[in-house]
Amino acid sequence: MLAADKNKTIIEVTVIGKDRKGVVADFTNFIFQNGGNIEKINQNVVRGLFGMQLEASFQKADRTHIDAGLKELAGKLQMELKVHYQEPDRPRNVAIFVSKEPHCLERILRGRKKGEIDTNIAVIIGSEETLRPIAENVKIPFHSIAHTDQATAENNILQLIDRYNIDLIVLARYMRILTPNFVWRYPNRIINIHPSILPAFPGAYAYVQAYERGAKIVGCTAHFVTEDLDQGPIICQESFKVHNKDTLETIKTKGQELEAETLFEAVKLYLENRLEVYWGKVFVHDGKPKKK
């Protein structure tokens, strides 16, 4: 993610479709021909599905012209297209994905209320109805998306993300796995909290594994989401010691408190433009003003 620059317009372009030649060249040439500069580009192919994300900066950008040109090019290449503009003069729009556990959601809401983060929590999306009352209490739109069919569910979520012009997706103990087809659309814009010091104890039952294995240190990891489960670039990690008197329940309680704080810290760093991802590794800027 590029730091916001009021003198530039930053656009993020995501292209997905059947793998074919010439896609990268055609899109990058369009950017250059319209006065843009490629800042970052990433591409991947999984089982014949091609995905590309690029970030480009423009000193002056005619959004109508750029949108129309990119749409025409995507149609010509039979590719699905998503274009997102970074607008530094407004708070970022955040979507929070949840399931049953409220602790991470409540910490983010508390942080916004206290002024610890400057953001607009535009929508809360649940895999079920459990946490709707929390959203309604703070007057944030809540949408429950059933996952009977994964493709249909993700398509419905994508429509909501576009409707609310979302800049950042936060998985606040969202107990569903997002497919590469979804994740590719939001490179380094989906943050997840995992109840383990990754890469150890992957999966949903990390605390159970830690307890059964007699781990002496347990923790959690906030990371960007990639198509590889629990393998994305790490943003924050925290841990606590396990004592002989601890039970599975006390470990879970301590872990959930740590999860909430660690995820909140990762979101805060993102919103403060202090994160940069290079070659799969996250670098955190200190946030201090640069000396002239």
Strand duo 36-46 + 49-58: pairing? antiparallel
For residue 112, CA distances in Å to 60, 98, 193, 263 come to: 33, 17, 18, 14
DSSP string, 215-229: -SEEEEEEEE--SST
Burial class (CB in 10 A: 0-12, 13-18, 19+), 231: middle
CA end-to-end span of the chain = 24
Residues 6+ apart with CB under 8 A from 224: 188, 189, 190, 191, 192, 232, 233, 235, 277, 282
- Alpha-carbon gap, residue 83 to 67, rounded angstroms: 8
Q: Which residue has the tokens 């939001």?
A: 186
Distance CA 278, CA 188 (A): 11
Q: Per DSSP, what are the bridge partners of residue 219? A: 239
Q: Specify whether 89 is catalytic.
A: no
Burial 1-15 (b: 16+ CB within 10 A, else e): beeeeeebbbbbbbb
The three-point CA angle 93-155-263 to 5° equals 40
Active-site annotation holder among 19, 62, 230, 246: 230
Q: CA 270 to CA 113: how far, in whole Å?
A: 18
Burial class (CB in 10 A: 0-12, 13-18, 19+), 178: buried
- Which residues are marked as active site? 230
